[in-house]
Structure 1
């Protein structure tokens, strides 16, 4: 009988779930972007992090807010999302060149400027997040774009094509050079 009682208690203890810590983590020199596998502190513009169920203490970091939103919309994303944070570009000391390492805000309540003129960490069009609506509006007045909530961001702003500089982007130049070498 004692053994059975101990077994039941042990089994009950195994079922106690420990709450996963989903507090935002500050960027460090070791913080690597999920998609680009590059150090995030080396790139300008706002960043994102996503905490997934079953991955305690190891959020996925993103070099751009648009990458963060794209990840959340991917059909391959299978883990339950517990928390999403983005850089607050209206935080004291935050600049586009140095957006801050610990000024995270809840992505679901942030105000986003979509369609502004500043590129993100990987050089693509970027979405700028702000904790305060007034900061987002001021940014949009200076840099263009529209202020909206997370769910209102169109897919076209998340995975937007890279603008071509005079129609002659790097891919086109390399393709032309290869064609010239092969006589094509």
Structure 2
């Protein structure tokens, strides 16, 4: 009888709980924003950024150093939480530059148009998907930098999930050389 009473109380309390809508508004980039995969300060890297809001984790979006990375994240089936909103930098916004894409010029990922296959590299040195709110701005960017203008659902998996070919600038030897220099600097 006590177990039944306890169960009824728990059910009654659960029924009283009001569902509060999760705030999925974009969060401005700050010095504390770090990339989900690399855990590096986003403001130190060039190119457009992204953020994903996950169900049940209000106010704490996952930030991404590259738009390519958030699209890959969205397409991977093994996520622990539902993705409820994704925002990307509008590279056509006033004052948005490749070095400083903006801290608050977010557009919903599903509303953006993307330049895919342009001759530009994102913040982590991989080919980038360049988002725009204005399709004509995207077309001008594609004319100047190569690539094709596409909607999110048109971007092929190969543009976000395929391995990135290392260039001479990012090969293992160059990386090892940079580590040796850094080790010497830290040892002094």
Question: Which whole-Å deviations, capped at 9, do the CAs of 1:35-64 have from their partners, x for residues lacking one?
Answer: 000010010000010111011111110000
Aligned to 1:13: 16
How far is the alpha carbon of 1:78 from its aligned partner? 3.3
The alignment status of 1:164 with 2:158, answered yes or no, reads: no
How far is the alpha carbon of 1:10 from its aligned partner? 3.6
Gaps of 5+ in 1: 176-184
Question: Which whole-Å deviations, capped at 9, do the CAs of 1:56-104 have from their partners, x for residues lacking one?
Answer: 1111100000000011111211321111100000000000010001000
Rounded Cα–Cα distance in structure 2 between residues aligned with 1:171 and 1:105: 36
Contact 1:48 1:65 in 2 (8 A): yes
Instruction: Select the residue among 51, 57, 66 that pairs with 1:55.
Output: 57
TM-score (norm 2): 0.83
> What RMSD over aligned residues (CA atoms) do the two structures have, in Å?
2.2
Moved over 3 A (4+): 7-11, 172-175
SS in 2 for 1:108: helix
The number of residues matched between the two structures is: 169
Gaps of 5+ in 2: 177-188
Change in CA separation of 1:169 and 1:80 when aligned onto 2, cut-off 3 Å: closer
SS in 1 for 2:110: coil
